[in-house]
Structure 1
């Protein structure tokens, strides 16, 4: 079985599991406990925080460990926005129409419960936003701009440098959802005020993640209790998870340039084969500004779910888009926002390749051709 749904999740790396094991067994202390067992865990947590901070290019105390990307996005969007509303009455937020549900649902919550207004900036047919349009959407009462570094469904990469400059010029924090970007794009030096990552996209366990927030940006906590994580996220910390996240991020960053350089040409050859051999295939997402490991298509005249079943029968596991929207009857909001019609959007199939891929994807292209032919009408 060839697993090509790595944007949904990845297997835990051996190095990560080995680094975590001591904190799941003998070194099990609560890092808040004031005895030798707890202090050993506190030292391990501090080490994981420092290592995570180095990868993200931030100061150690700016890292907040979370249960994953969704919580990190929620803490950034709600926490920064509510803090801005309390401090200066700012109740406006800017985001993109194609964002992950963790951002869009958080924005909807702010609108419904806290009286925020929101501007959803449209994207072009490739899923890319015009930085000038984002800049134009910023108002005097804008609390936050929240943008995905790279889209989780089509792999389009945004012009983060220009977005960060636009936000900096207006004095508005930029939150960057880098969950899909980790391991493929640089995480340090983005210019963002906040950045979210999830461990299970880079070889750490599910349920691990982090949010880095610049020290100058106030954050209202969403979880209240013992005041852990400098009061920003109460609850006993998962020392093993934090350690695994740090190791996974370090490994992904160390291998990032070599991986991207090796995988991108294999992806491009695969895309070319599919577009050449399948008459009704259409590439979705930006053909240039895209993640090295993502190839997504629509296949007019088919059912995306039927193609996926045929592919799995032929030994290829892929997906129709975001795993967070699995089971939804509605077509992808990302594809609709890109101007793709509803019928075509329901034929989408996404292939996301693993780190370390070095072999030809010709057999996958053969499986795609056969699967689409089998279910076409």
Structure 2
């Protein structure tokens, strides 16, 4: 049976282990540009012997309207492409692979973060009862406007262009962010999507935007360099449960099979919270969803060492993604191998700031010295 520390081929990518660094928004890209501090942060976690074999970047907006949090790096300008190159070069120098998580926040934004102070765009005009991060700290989201049917194609094309820019920037591929109540999920779930056009109503209509995005991206860079992240039942960002979540997500995944995507990255339960939401009326059969997907399966959300070892050994997952563990432990891979203790997480430095709580967490080697 495979182990967490064995190599695997993920679409077009050969990985040294099955340990993945999950996408983690850290708000340290002033001017929406990657920088040297970010390159150091990712490189610290990029050695497959001690860290991750595959790094998924923080959410990276595909267009100016896709930003919803202060100081998030984009992939919609030539300057951003050039700035990301320092990050990808640093990661490759350590022996890991890196993919850009392509993101559009939709209604999880604020007018102060939108071009010209415009309203955020979404599948709906209903405001999200959630908060986002601005120069004034965490503030309520602004009321959005619903995209006109004719505008949707432009957003799809923004994802396609960003995927091409990702390869220009040296990335090994991309992961499309279809989770956590952001734009793609705002189209998928009938708790949010109240449209009456070709993108709303029946399941086949609500999955259309996702299908078009994935087809456009796979057509641009190849399905073997394209992954997708989903979170079928998470309630974060005011994403109410779909009336038929199991059927919705199974249909969405089955429709993508012809694209031969590299992987599906699934958040089990509530992002950053409980893994089993059955008591909250949101059970989900992830094994049934997996049977619908022909590519590799990355499991995510609250995995301990023992859980990750068991998931890979049993075949329940091909790889496991770790989030908070990689924030506080740049050498998380080594700690997992040795069953070593983990550094505590400093929650005060998660969002914004500088080196503190970002690149100054000690490694096992440093602690021993």
Work out whether the TM-score is over 0.5. Answer: no
Which structure has more RCO (C-alpha within 8 Å, separation ≥ 6)?
1
Q: Which has the higher helix share?
A: 1
Rg bigger for which structure?
Answer: 1
TM-score (structure 1 length as normaliser): 0.27
TM-score (structure 2 length as normaliser): 0.28
